Chain A
């Protein structure tokens, strides 16, 4: 971005993680320690790799949500959007596979990205140009995307072509030097996002718009453009998550991505981003997504909780994690 040169050196201090921002990481460390005490298998390399890989989808989408939320917006449509992009991508790849073979995979990824950007642009335009509350606007598109994936699958399953299945599988199940690919992808996304949010003019405008819309407007920031772009970033992140998701089960169904939006928002907030806007924490968001997945994993690995009460205990742990985060800030 051309804005980089214009970034004043003052922004430098944002790179170092201050004590006040350590909350989510403290919560994560506490959770890991408790997990190890409950069941030593918890820290086995296999289990850690599984769980962190699983958290990659939510983490990637939540990184996008960090932009939307810190700019004062909200996006409830991400789960349905992920399912919709997955569906479009699979149908497209199956369509071109007979003529281009495995080249269908990179083409499919491109289609997914374009679809994601278009979906984000749609959300952003409705919110900014249409001047509709983000909650209502994205509740609407959430229904639209969900209905479209149900329509595309006839309510059933659309599976990836058999000839592409094995070629694409490594994108979820493969690793580079022992690190699973989805983890590398989410790290890369987080690095780029942290750079954009902390080091570029756009990032600072994003947070400024979330902190106080009127002041931002009077200082000559185009609120419409900043917010719309945040939704486009969100759409791109959802597309990247979908690209990693497709090889896992190789199929899209009307229940794909169900309630992901709530997990995403929870991850963002646990991570220290203010839900009302004006403060964004990319690495905290990543920690938040991993925390959520660890909690679910711990519920299965421990024998303390009846299967009927799992959700209640998860709720309690999330609230405790938030309290740790809050207290470490004082």
Chain B
């Protein structure tokens, strides 16, 4: 009885494995990304699915499969399952965490897959064939430079930071580097965990604590939403700028509309997953050399170029 079940399972697995392979030289690109649990990852999922749809339609010889995983360990299982059931010609991965994913991705690389790493690097950069990422330091730095210039190099700033991670540290470091040498003073800096509710509370407390705030920087747009609501409630008028980061569609819409308090935005676009998938597809379909790393800039988004970063259909 048990043997029969095992036999049946074996045959099924073999059939499944043989299925895609026999479909004449079709290249498979697997995309492994975090599940949508907040605005930014929701954007990643949206753009990954959009890229998969577009590429599957444009290149009949390429099949893109998107798998989302809620945690690092689930992501490890997901890529192991994917590679066990079919031949992966390429893997595009946005790792949950660098440490846990390095060895499993290496195992897939050893089977001969082309590896594209997005956003968070693996511990061993030799594994990746292509690396696509944004520039977190520039997110902080460019925002700081804008404030220094617009406020003639002086004023009081309060800062809201996200969840203690490398991403958050880099943004804060970029910002601190950007205001170096000016008389812009950071009055306070506290964690609000990239959460609008916590940012709302923190901003209320900042407003109670400091009688004169000239500018606010929340290093993510979810937090900026809470900040703006707290400022509105307080009725305080001295705050000249309230800036965010990441490129949420609601904030980009404000920039497009020429908002006085939020006139600019810095992108850390979730659409970078799309760049990575297209480049990986180019490796197969266009025979174009793509090995290397690509760091997307975080230029200031202003009214002039906001449309380029506005995705009204995306959840983010």
Contact = CB atoms under 8 A, between A and B. Distances in A.
Interface of A: 39, 41, 44, 46-47, 50, 54, 150, 153-157, 159, 173, 248-251, 253-256, 258, 296-297, 300-301, 307-308, 310
A250 B196 CA distance: 11
Give the 4 A-B residue pairs with the shortest CB-CB distance, closest first.
A155-B36, A156-B315, A155-B42, A300-B205
> SS class of chain B's interface: helix, strand, loop or mixed?
helix
Nearest to A53: B204
Contacts of A159: 250
Given A157-B39, A251-B196, A54 B46 contact: no
B38 interface: yes
Contact of B200 (A153, A154, A248, A300): A248
B208 A50 contact: yes
B225 interface: yes
Nearest to A172: B233
Nearest to B210: A41
B41 A155 contact: yes
Interface of B: 35-39, 41-43, 45-46, 161, 164, 188-191, 194-197, 200-202, 204-206, 208-209, 222, 225-226, 229, 233-234, 248, 250, 314-316
A46 B208 contact: yes
Interface centre among A153, A253, A297 (most CB of B within 10 A): A253
Contact of A255 (B38, B161, B205, B315): B38
A154 B250 contact: no
A253 B221 CA distance: 13
B36 A254 contact: yes
Nearest to B36: A155
Given A254-B38, A300-B206, A249 B200 contact: yes
A50 B164 CA distance: 27
Nearest to B230: A50
Contacts of B222: 157, 253, 255
Given A54-B204, A249-B200, A296-B201, 14 more contacts: A46-B234, A50-B205, A54-B201, A153-B42, A155-B35, A155-B39, A155-B315, A156-B43, A156-B316, A157-B39, A254-B42, A297-B208, A300-B205, A307-B191
Given A150-B36, A156-B39, A41 B233 contact: no
A32 B2 CA distance: 69
Nearest to B194: A255
A33 B281 CA distance: 65
A145 B37 CA distance: 13
A228 to B, nearest CB: 31
A156 B196 contact: no
Nearest to A159: B250
A255 B42 contact: no
Contact of B46 (A41, A154, A300): A154
A253 B220 CA distance: 15
A135 to B, nearest CB: 21
B1 to A, nearest CB: 33
A173 B208 CA distance: 16
B38 A253 contact: yes
Contacts of A150: 36-37
A154 B36 CA distance: 7
Given A249-B225, A251-B196, A300 B316 contact: no
Given A157-B315, A310-B191, A248 B229 contact: yes
Contact of B39 (A173, A253, A258): A253
Given A154-B46, A156-B39, A157-B39, A255 B316 contact: no
Contacts of A297: 201, 205, 208
Contacts of A249: 196-197, 200, 225-226, 229
A254 B315 CA distance: 12
Contacts of B202: 300
Nearest to B43: A156
A244 to B, nearest CB: 13
A262 to B, nearest CB: 14
